Amino acid sequence: SAPFSRRFKRAALSLCLSIGIAGLLSEASLGAVPVLQGDQSHVPRDCPYGSITKPCQISDDGVVDQDCIVGTTGRPEVLRFQKLFIRAGVKLLFSRDEGVDIKLMANGIKVDGELWVGCEGGLAEAFRGKVLLEFSGAFEDFGDASRWVGFNFHQAGLPDMGMGSVEEMFPKGLVVTNTGRLELHGLPKTSWRYLAATALAGGQAVTLDEDMNWAPGDELVIGSTSTNPGESEVAIIAQVIGREVQLDSKLQFTHAGDYHDRGRPLNAPVGLRSHNIRVRGRMADGTEEAERAAWLACKWAYEQLDGANPSHVRDGCFGGHTIYLQHSTVHVEHAEFTSMGQALIMARYPIHWHLAGNATGQYVRNVSLHSNFQRCATIHGTSDVLLADNVCHDTFGHAFYLEDGIETGNSFHRNLVVSAHPGGSVCTDFQKGGGPRSNVQIGPS
């Protein structure tokens, strides 16, 4: 369509005018002093659970027009909508009871009201069941209005980005608008640790340098410490005994863990990939094997990327995305984002504050972002956001990205990036460093 074509051309003209950050930002922060997990002085006091008990009866057209709650203990639920709309002033809650299992599938979700999956405040307030928010769609959906949710910046009184009175199109994603609020609070889990001892290839256990609260079945990534980032590997926990984590299969590679004191950051990091709140862009039949195969096919397409014909990347790497607009409110913690990001399309990332202005108090923390298609988190025209203790594994291009370079007061604290691959949206996305710390990339594009 013409509006999308204009956006794509603007993106090409501004290709080299952005700032990207990708790296292991382990002990330093940028901007404001971060508010960390243990400090509950800023806990929102408006958690709506308890005051909303009416079961949802969502219309066939996917409109939520009154406060309600979904989810029943012991009864898995699958909710399917072409589009889901949460009207302004309306709250949609997912029940926090143990044993709740909800799969919500849609081409797009537009949050003009509030979407709550748990509340801030630790284990007592967290969502304790399982939820999957899954987005379907393809690049061609930009040409089919029935398959995308839209937002009119001009009508909302926000900068219109050159779109005029035309709606911006958001296929395969979640949009938190200027009246919207997103609250995702999964079960509290340790995000990542360093090894305390070298883990040898062929071994079936790793020893960590600090306590953690992981459990059998949790999925980990163990970072490479060689010159080959491909030696990062995924493992499933079989058992936890103190600081020793036993795995359900043997390690393929050796991971260094014998550095101490100031050398400790040279030890392999071990990050948590799985959480009980999942946000996913569906690429295949939904099975883990097929979704992984789709990501590997995207990686191959990126490796063959030809600037004159990028369609094979654009089409094969079209994941889901989330975007948070000016005046929205977003708090996300202990959640998992996978198969997210839309390759080579500006403003379509797994996590994205878009021209949100002052976002004081908003955060994404203790989140895993893995097997994605474009970046992990982007802050654009937004100030005072906290990104803390997140794990970003397997993505393309700069993982943590300040888009215009004018963003101030944002804090990046102890985020882990493992295996950030060359991308294709801005000039420095194409660059590939060498050595075990080649994920670290800070500077203008």
Residue 28 has pLDDT above 50, yes or no: no
Across 323-347, average pLDDT: 97
What is the overall mean pLDDT for the chain?
88
Judged by DSSP in three states, 360 sits in coil
- pLDDT at residue 13 in the model: 33
State percent of the chain over pLDDT 70: 86
Across 392-410, average pLDDT: 95
Tokens of 334: 């202990």
Across 330-342, average pLDDT: 98
- pLDDT at residue 445 in the model: 31
Going by C-alpha positions, the residue among 112, 99, 82 that lies closest to residue 175 is 112
Across 424-445, average pLDDT: 54
Task: Yes or no: say if 352 and 319 are a contact pair by the CB < 8 Å rule.
Answer: no
Q: How far is CA 90 from the centre of its chain?
A: 25
Buried b (16+ CB within 10 A) or exposed e, 311-320: ebbbebbbbb
Residue 306 has pLDDT above 80, yes or no: no
The residue with tokens 């020893």 is 207
- pLDDT at residue 45 in the model: 66
Residue 209 has pLDDT above 60, yes or no: yes
Residue 29 has pLDDT above 70, yes or no: no
- Candidate from 11-20, 236-245, 313-322, 363-372 with smallest mean pLDDT: 11-20
Find all residues with CB under 8 Å of 27, minimum gap 6, and list them: 265, 414
Across 197-207, average pLDDT: 98
Across 44-62, average pLDDT: 91
Residue 294 has pLDDT above 50, yes or no: yes
Residue 218 has pLDDT above 70, yes or no: yes
Model confidence pLDDT, tens digit, residues 356-391: 999 999 999 999 999 999 999 999 999 999 999 999
Q: Rounded CA gap, 398 and 420, in Å?
A: 7
Task: Yes or no: say if 417 and 24 are a contact pair by the CB < 8 Å rule.
Answer: yes
Q: How far is CA 269 from the centre of its chain?
A: 19
The residue with tokens 């079209």 is 318
pLDDT tier at 156, thresholds 50, 70, 90:
very high
- pLDDT at residue 424 in the model: 86
Beta-carbon neighbour count of residue 123 at 10 Å?
A: 9
Residue 119 has pLDDT above 90, yes or no: yes
**DSSP letters for 145-213:** GGGEEEE-TTTTTS--TT-TTSPEEEESEEEE-TT-EEEEE------EEEBSS-B-TT--EEEBSS---
Rounded to two decimals, what is the model's pTM? 0.90
Task: Yes or no: say if 315 and 138 are a contact pair by the CB < 8 Å rule.
Answer: yes
What amino acid occupies position 257?
G
Beta-carbon neighbour count of residue 185 at 10 Å?
A: 24
Beta-carbon neighbour count of residue 442 at 10 Å?
A: 14
pLDDT tier at 341, thresholds 50, 70, 90:
very high
Residue 101 has pLDDT above 80, yes or no: yes
Going by C-alpha positions, the residue among 323, 340, 423 that lies closest to residue 382 is 323
- pLDDT at residue 44 in the model: 55
pLDDT tier at 26, thresholds 50, 70, 90:
very low
Q: How is residue 34 annotated by DSSP?
A: P
* Mode of pairing for the β-strands spanning 400-402 and 441-444: unpaired
pLDDT tier at 30, thresholds 50, 70, 90:
very low
Strand stretches in 302-409, DSSP E: 321-324, 329-333, 336-338, 351-358, 363-365, 368-370, 377-383, 386-388, 391-396, 400-402
Across 242-265, average pLDDT: 96
- pLDDT at residue 34 in the model: 42
* φ, ψ for residue 346, nearest 5 deg: -65, 145
Model confidence pLDDT, tens digit, residues 343-354: 999 999 999 999
Judged by DSSP in three states, 392 sits in strand
- CA diameter of the chain: 60
- pLDDT at residue 159 in the model: 78
* Mode of pairing for the β-strands spanning 19-22 and 400-402: antiparallel
Dihedral (C-alpha) 363, 365, 371, 376: value to the nearest 10 degrees? 40
- pLDDT at residue 166 in the model: 87
Buried b (16+ CB within 10 A) or exposed e, 323-346: bbbbbbbbbbbbbbbbbbbbbbbb
pLDDT tier at 305, thresholds 50, 70, 90:
confident
User: If residue 295 lies in a helix (H) or strand (E), which one and from where to where?
Assistant: helix 288-303
Q: Rounded CA gap, 22 and 433, in Å?
A: 11
Q: Rounded CA gap, 367 and 383, in Å?
A: 20
Residue 32 has pLDDT above 70, yes or no: no
